[in-house]
Amino acid sequence: MNKIFWEKTKIKEKINFTDKIIGFWIITENIGKNSKAGQFIHIKIDESNSLILRRPFSIADVKNNEIFFIFRIVGKGTSLLSRLNKTDEIDILGPLGKPIEIPEEKDILILGGGLGIAPLYLLSKTLLENKKNLFALFGAKNSKELILKENLEKLNFKELIFYTEDGSYGKKGKVTDGISPITKEKKFKVIYSAGPKEMLKKIKLIFNKKIKIYGFLEERMGCGVGLCSSCAVPKNDKTYLHLCENGPCLLLNEILL
Amino acid sequence: MNLNQKIKGINFKNPVLLASGTYGFGLKFKEVINLTGGIITKTITFKPMIGNPPPRIYEFEGGIINSIGLENPGVKYFKNKILPNLKNLNTNLIVSIGGNSVKEIIDLIKTLEDEIISAYEINLSCPNVKEGGINLGQNPLIVEKILKEAKKITKKPIIAKIPSVFCNPIEIAKITENNGADFITITNTIPGLVINIEREKPFLGGISGGISGPFLKYYSLYLVAKIRKIIKIPVIGCGGIRDYKDVLEYLFCGAMLVEIGTLNLVNPFIVAKIIKDLKEWGKERRIKNIKKIIGKIEIEI
């Protein structure tokens, strides 16, 4: 098991992508240094115990001991979290989850929708460091919600295409619209994806079963460290995986979505 | 304050135990486990159980509701693959056992009997399985039979984790004592239901779940105070502990040991702080031995 740390971290920078999408750079002691692509942090948002459980967030980027994560305000927890500012403290457990394994294949397709772009940013950087050829499609509702686009443009993708549903940045449409054109030119054996469940379902339907499709999943989580078995994800054989331990990036071919 | 107690032949370095289902099988965070009085494993059943469909957990202000459904790899796997990795634990290993029938529970103990286990905790009260679980514990005749049969085949101490609703917990407690239980744990989660109004169906995949967390402390504490007056065997208090002050409340009411559950899901390291704070508290008040505070408050209820 990878070493897990419990730390009171400090917010270094707050980035408001939109009114509802916020990113935090936080300063950690050991968590940042030990974090790898595919992992997450588990945040105790409310010390008063009105929200008992922690909330998991994918790691979008790491710089030495600093971690970047992005979230959308969807409920009470994320709403409280969004009110924090620079120098405020955040109680986190991490790094959690299984780091991605570097695939043997050279050419990899990356498909990210909405907030799913966040974990794929660190993942892309990691795969590029491992000399992989990345072909990427990223999409969101509109230009503002297309997070990290400037950062992604600086990475050395073989191909990088953006989609927005309103056409305000890149091509008009969804990431899944771009799959057919890109796979006509090139055949992929490995895909990494993250985004809404509907998008992952569609991706799974489009590709041949022999192609390895990895996807970042979400599930209600308890401990986040493999003790409670709350975050069950059904496999094709009707048994369960635990997202916090086996994921959050799982081989979708094995999963019932 | 000396937190050490020897109870029924078992040495507990402090009164804080890790509750079943909240700390896995003892394979992770061993350095934390070793600081506690013992770990109670996730409940093992004779055959493997895959558990309930998701969602398995729901949160509300004051607690959580879980519906894991006793997911576990079964006793053979536990004995062959997990137990060998627990031999180096430097504290008590208490194995939680459950089943759908008296026979299953007895077969389970027979399978495990030779191993390095300090005690068994019989889960008479899991609300998250369709058969067995809480239904076994609610039936006084079955409780009697399980304990009688179990005592015949094991010399290890038996802890009975009793249900506290849909039965008379006082009656069940007495029955467990009369039939040889060495300890009694009060209490397990209590059954609960959540409805997803958008989808017009139960929220939890397993339909109902077990409610635990801070809210449960008040009911559990009441039961501990009441039951420990009626029975002589040691009581283990369980429910809603958040800090050392909650531990003290249980000890004052007569619990000799406590179990920490839901809190482990929030922070797997926090139990170490609770034990440290407990020691500090005793030191500040110059209390030499934990025995001085157990049952210190006389409560007539």
Number of domains in chain B: 1
Counting as low any pLDDT under 70, the low residues of chain A are 1
Which chain B residue shows the shortest CA-CA distance from A91? B267
Which chain B residue shows the shortest CA-CA distance from A50? B61
Question: What is the structure's pLDDT at B245?
Answer: 98
Question: What's B81's domain CATH number?
Answer: 3.20.20.70
C-alpha pair distances (Å), B81 with each of A127, A241, B78, B116, B292 = 35, 18, 6, 14, 42
> What pLDDT digit, counting tens, does each position of B31-59 carry?
999 999 999 999 999 999 999 999 999 99
> What pLDDT digit, counting tens, does each position of B170-200 carry?
999 999 999 999 999 999 999 999 999 999 9
Residue B127 has pLDDT above 90, yes or no: no
Residues A220, B214: C-beta atoms closer than 8 Å? no
Reported as half-sphere exposure (CB side, CA atoms, 13 A), residue B215 has a value of 14
Q: Which of B126, B167, B238, B253 is catalytic?
A: B126
Q: What distance in Å separates the CA atoms of residue B208 and residue A184, rounded to the nearest whole number?
A: 49
**Cβ-Cβ contacts under 8 Å, A93 against chain B:** 267-268
Residues A53, B242: C-beta atoms closer than 8 Å? no
Q: What distance in Å separates the CA atoms of residue B223 and residue A196, rounded to the nearest whole number?
A: 46
Q: What distance in Å separates the CA atoms of residue B177 and residue A155, rounded to the nearest whole number?
A: 69
Question: What is the structure's pLDDT at B132?
Answer: 54
Q: Residue B8: count other Cβ atoms within 10 Å of its Cβ.
A: 16
Q: What distance in Å separates the CA atoms of residue B89 and residue B95, rounded to the nearest whole number?
A: 13
Is A107-216 in CATH node 3.30.1360.20?
A: no
Is A5-96 in CATH node 3.40.50.2000?
A: no
Q: Where are the domains of chain A?
A: 5-96, 107-216
CB contacts < 8 A (A, B): 100
% pLDDT > 90, chain B: 87
> What pLDDT digit, counting tens, does each position of B208-236 carry?
999 999 999 999 999 999 999 999 999 99
Distance from CA of A232 to the nearest CA of B (A): 6
Which residues, in sequence order, are CB contacts of B155 under 8 Å at separation 6+? none
Residues B71, A221: C-beta atoms closer than 8 Å? no
State the pLDDT confidence band at B131, using cuts at 50, 70 and 90.
low
Residue B297: inside a domain? no
Could you confirm whether B126 is annotated as catalytic? Answer: yes
Which chain B residue shows the shortest CA-CA distance from A229? B68
Mean pLDDT computed over every residue of chain B: 93
Peptide linkage before B187 cis (omega within 30 of 0): yes
Find residues 19-48 of chain B whose CB sits inside 8 Å of chain A: 21-24, 28-29, 42
Residue B76: inside a domain? yes
Residue B130 has pLDDT above 60, yes or no: no
State the pLDDT confidence band at B301, using cuts at 50, 70 and 90.
confident
Distance from CA of A96 to the nearest CA of B (A): 13
Residue B298: inside a domain? no
Question: What is the structure's pLDDT at B137?
Answer: 76
- Is B53 an interface residue toward A (CB < 8 Å)? yes
Where are the strands (E) in chain B, listed by range?
5-7, 10-12, 16-18, 38-40, 57-60, 63-66, 92-97, 119-123, 158-161, 183-186, 190-193, 195-196, 201-202, 208-212, 235-238, 257-260
Domain limits at B43?
5-292
Residues B266, A52: C-beta atoms closer than 8 Å? yes
Question: Are B144 and B122 a contacting pair, CB within 8 Å?
Answer: no
> What pLDDT digit, counting tens, does each position of B70-113 carry?
999 999 999 999 999 999 999 999 999 998 888 999 999 999 98
* ipTM score of complex: 0.92
Peptide linkage before B169 cis (omega within 30 of 0): no
Residues A227, B28: C-beta atoms closer than 8 Å? yes
Residues A53, B59: C-beta atoms closer than 8 Å? yes
Sign of the dihedral through C-alpha B49, B51, B52, B54: negative
- Is B74 an interface residue toward A (CB < 8 Å)? no
- Is B217 an interface residue toward A (CB < 8 Å)? no
